[in-house]
Amino acid sequence: MDGQLSLFESVTEAFGRQEELENSALYKHVAERMGWTESDLEARQPVGQAGRPHNIPKRQVRWVQQTLKHLGLLERAGRGVWRLTAEGRKKVPMRRIETGQVMLAFSTELGVALWADCKTAYARGDEPIVLALTSPPFPLAKARAYGNPTEAQYVDFLCEALEPIVRRLAPGGSIVLNLSNDIFLPGMPARSLYRERLVLAMADRFGLYKMDEHPWVNRSKAPGPVQWASLKRSQLNVGWEPIYWFTNDPHKVRADNRRVLEPHTARHLGLLAGGGEQRDREFSDGAYTLRAGRSFANVTAGRIPRNVLELGHHCGSQNAYKAAARAAGLPVHGAPFPLRLAAFYIRLLTVEHDLVVDPFGGSLTVALAAEQLGRHWIATEVIWEYLAGGGLRFEDASELAWSPAFLRAA
């Protein structure tokens, strides 16, 4: 049974990588996946009552091909050439770039989207990175469509991915990571300490400094964890995700909160209009004082944001992306973050023309925010379908990626 499953998997995987496939290329791919040698593919044995000589592995592959055809997933595209049907494209695993390969998916005037594993892509190139802003795959027990590392693998997985970026980080540059607090120990309502381990590894392995940990409060999250909050009733429903901010040099850090000021509240504007505070008061044993005519008397450009981000995940840009991806027959990314969140960190931590990267690009939200704010950007993503969908968000994306030649090159 195992053998049959992996034969099916390797045939569908081969079609997941190519629009159309000749039988010779299909046999080659499946042979590599199944560990068959060249002589396995050449050997012939008498088969059936007539005893005509056939190659058994190739016959097995053709049998899978016929089965997929009967299921309506595969169709003949020419003599000895097959392709997925529209239904097949929905069901077959998404196209993942081979380890070590880097392909240009598309470019704009300001940025490039690469179909690549981030471990490989940032090792090339030397423009200093001012901000790496990303949401890596979380170590979820039930993996997303794009897969994820386990909790035990997580620190090594992320450090390996970030290492080339840390090496290219500009002095005072930042790394901002959106992680999950909701990774539970197996069978227990207790949370994993993976993020504490990761923070220590960022300091110990890379010499980075933790600037802050911002709770991203998202009241529109679906209720959960169902097992521990709704069924066992021992946990509360989740309402936030941590966002870690690291730098390599806190003295030179390029953050400037004047780029993210919020409007003053009506109360603050009232105080300003009245010439500031009218009371002399002390609070908390003198730690905090109000001085009549001095406190809140200076006109300032805006309110410094609190280090808690309150925003729901609903986002006009995401909705438009999802509609466009569906219309193009592409899978919709299951874990994008809001454009406003990306724009906030890009404004806080960079200026125009700085280089912003997103190693785990997904639907290219960070890239889009960088483009809109006039920053250079590089985004990498291992799954082609997400790049294709994300590319629809850019008005001036080059056509290169979508040409059949590009697909064949992969």
Ligand X SMILES: C[S@@+](CC[C@H](N)C(=O)[O-])C[C@H]1O[C@@H](n2cnc3c(N)ncnc32)[C@H](O)[C@@H]1O
Residues lying near ligand X in the complex (CB under 6 A) are found at 117-119, 135, 137, 146, 161, 333, 335-337, 359-360, 362-363, 365, 380-383, 386
- Residue closer to ligand X (CB basis): 15 or 345: 345
Say how many C-beta atoms besides its own lie within 10 A of residue 283's C-beta.
Answer: 9
CB nearer ligand X, residue 174 or residue 365: 365
Nearer to ligand X, 25 or 410 (CB): 410
Tokens of 299: 């006109």
Nearest of 116, 128, 103 to residue 161 by alpha carbon: 116
The strand ranges marked E within 231-296 are: 240-247, 281-283, 288-290
Residue 77 C-beta: closest distance to ligand X, Å: 28
Tokens coding 332:
């919709």
Q: What is the dihedral of CA 98, 103, 105, 108, to 10 degrees?
A: 150
Q: Of 201, 193, 196, 129, whose CA–CA distance to 160 is shortest?
A: 201
> In this structure, are residues 254 and 172 in contact, taking their beta carbons and an 8 Å threshold?
yes
Q: How far is the CB of 161 from ligand X (least distance, A)?
A: 6
Nearer to ligand X, 31 or 383 (CB): 383
| Least separation in angstroms between CB 96 and ligand X | 8
Nearest CA to 64 out of 95, 27, 25 is that of 27
**Distance set, CA 46 to CA 56, 163, 401, 403 (Å):** 9, 55, 46, 44
Size of the chain in residues: 410
Question: What's the closest the beta carbon of residue 75 comes to ligand X, in angstroms?
Answer: 28
Q: Which residue is nearest to ligand X (CB)?
A: 362
Task: Identify which of residues 30 and 369 has a Cβ nearer to ligand X in the complex.
Answer: 369
Nearer to ligand X, 74 or 105 (CB): 105
**What is the nearest approach in angstroms of ligand X to the Cβ of residue 21?**
23
- The minimum distance between CB 349 and ligand X, in angstroms, equals 16
Q: Shortest distance, CB of residue 130 to ligand X, whole angstroms?
A: 18
CB nearer to ligand X: pick between 87 and 98: 98
> Within a 13 Å sphere around the CA of 233, how many CA atoms are in the beta-carbon half?
0
CB 348, min distance to ligand X, A: 17
Cis peptide before 225 (omega within 30 of 0): yes
Looking only at the bridges linking them, the beta strands covering 376-381 and 355-358 are: parallel
CB nearer to ligand X: give 144 or 232: 144
Which of these, 408, 340, 407, lies nearest to 105 by C-alpha position?
407
Nearer to ligand X, 189 or 242 (CB): 242
In the complex, the smallest distance separating the C-beta of residue 336 from ligand X, rounded to whole angstroms, is 3
Spatial separation of the C-alpha atoms in residues 121 and 159, rounded to whole Å: 15
CA dihedral 194, 140, 17, 101 (to 10 degrees): -10
Tokens representing residue 199 in the block: 């923070």
